[in-house]
Amino acid sequence: MDNTHAHTMEFALESTPTSPGASPGAQKQGCMVGLFWIDADNVHLGTPSAMTASDVLLTPDSLRVVGPEPKEWIWSDVASVEVIGVPVRSTGGRWAGRAASVAAVALDVWNPGSPEEMTVAVSAGGGRIETTVLSGAATAYSRREVDLSQALLARFVEGACSPAVLSDWWSSAEPGVLRSRGREAVLEEWLAAR
């Protein structure tokens, strides 16, 4: 397995990464919903990036870590998946951050810092591995968005839902940028899926 699908990402308001320097036709478009990044090819935990050593991919059949130490497990072998160190904003911070972001965009000075690193912990086959991924949020996620995402990961592990739901949604919607309330609604819809 290799990391050729990963791209260094630029971050804009509520995160619309594209490959810098690429021609418009070659840009890889995707959408962040909760802790997931969905594009035409893959469902990722965190945002795909050349800045991290590995990438975590979710398929209907398996959970795969791509990078220097690749690993793959079928879902029935996975005991748990958790994302640790997720940047979460408070309600007050959410509105203050949004006001500052809108003001910065209006003044054409939006220049967010580096995305936050998060840890994906996978327990499978009697062992546990941890790998680093990048946050897809421009600043931080809402608490509800994180809780819904973690609940959806638990449903994948239980076999009660499949990452195919996310891929199917992307194929039919190709939504672009969603605000946090919209992302929460999509996560709720996925949690209700069988």
What is the Cα 161 distance to its own chain's centre?
Answer: 17
Mean of pLDDT over the chain: 77
* 51/83: higher pLDDT: 83
- How confident is the model over 88-120, as pLDDT tens digits? 987 544 444 444 444 433 333 333 457 889 999
Neighbours of 154 (CB within 10 A): 15
How far is it, in rounded angstroms, from Cα 110 to Cα 12? 8
How far is it, in rounded angstroms, from Cα 46 to Cα 37? 6
How far is it, in rounded angstroms, from Cα 38 to Cα 167? 7
pLDDT at res. 40: 87
pLDDT at res. 113: 57
- How confident is the model over 9-36, as pLDDT tens digits? 333 323 334 333 333 333 458 889 999 9
5 pLDDT band, cuts 50/70/90, is very low
- How confident is the model over 131-141, as pLDDT tens digits? 999 998 888 99
